[in-house]
Amino acid sequence: MTEHLDLPAALAALPVDLPPGRLVTEDDGRQPLLWISDDPAPAGLWRQLHRAHPQTGLWPLLLTPLDRTGPDYRPWLSGELHPTDAALPGLYDPAALLRTWWKQADEDEDGETGEDAEILDEALAPYGRTWPGPAPAVTVPDGAAGTEARELAEVLLHKGGRLGLVRAASGAEALTVCGWSGPNNHDEIARIAAVLADWERRFGAQVVEVGFDTLELSVPVPPATLAEALPLAAEHTAFCPDLVFQGTGSLTEYAEGLVGTYQWSFWWD
């Protein structure tokens, strides 16, 4: 991987031609964070760049804005990117983060009456407010994670996202390097990226599309049964409580939606 190259040099060394685009820098204008295309990503190019990542060191993303009609394509062209040291996520224990977030979600949603506690227990059944621990890792066949990421990218192209390129070792690292802050109302990006990196290791999940406050991941080996999906649903709820508390209203119902599903979707207020 060409980790010794800076972003402009890595772009110049690409073995494929890119469509018209631009470098996005920090507010001081000195540090390039990512490259973004001027128009929607062409069919097939994300797939080609993703496959070449081990040689180029450039992680491709599909980038979508908060408002497609706005002139600044927030947050990608609006000066709302704040990069974090790529090494920082490695300082955190992902299992401890998930356990802490689960407890915080409980405290945020719980009220002062027994009735409130009962409603919360029902929403988080079968675990209630007791953290069940991490979901078991799965065995991912060689090449399956990359194949599924590329297939999901082709599906998501219909949304018209632009192509982004970040000099990073993985999708999780790319989010810290480019300065995405979509989940800031939940926690800082370094801690979010620590869990995403853990999901890459345990489940083969890969970051494919990033919006203002949304995230789309591919997963090559989805749970086959509700029993397998439930502990994973608990991790997702800790990571992004809105999925249940402003979404399905039930952890079990959310888990049912994970069975056989190759795409994980997250959003934060």
| Residue 122 forms part of a structural domain | no
C-alpha distance across the termini of the chain, in Å: 36
Per-residue CA distances from 144 to 12, 147, 206, 218 (Å)? 29, 5, 11, 10
Residue 256 is assigned to a structural domain of this protein: no
DSSP state of 185: T
Write out pLDDT tens, residues 139-179: 999 999 999 999 999 999 999 999 999 999 999 999 999 99
Confirm whether 254 is domain-assigned. no
| 184-221: pLDDT as tens digits | 999 999 999 999 999 999 999 999 999 999 999 999 99
> Is residue 230 a part of any domain in this protein?
no
User: Does the pTM of the predicted model rise above 0.75?
Assistant: yes
DSSP state of 82: -
Tell me, yes or no, whether 113 lies in a domain: no
* Residue 251 belongs to some domain of the structure: no
Separation of alpha carbons 64 and 121, rounded Å = 36
Helices and strands: H and E segment counts in the chain: 10, 7
Domain count along the chain: 1
Residue 34 within a domain: yes
Domain assignment present for 170: yes
Q: What is the pLDDT of residues 59-88, one digit of tens each?
A: 999 999 998 877 889 999 999 999 999 999
Structural domain harbouring 54: 7-93+141-219+263-267
Among 20, 24, 28, which residue's Cα sits nearest to residue 8?
A: 24
Q: How far apart, in whole angstroms, are the C-alpha atoms of residue 12 and residue 10?
A: 5
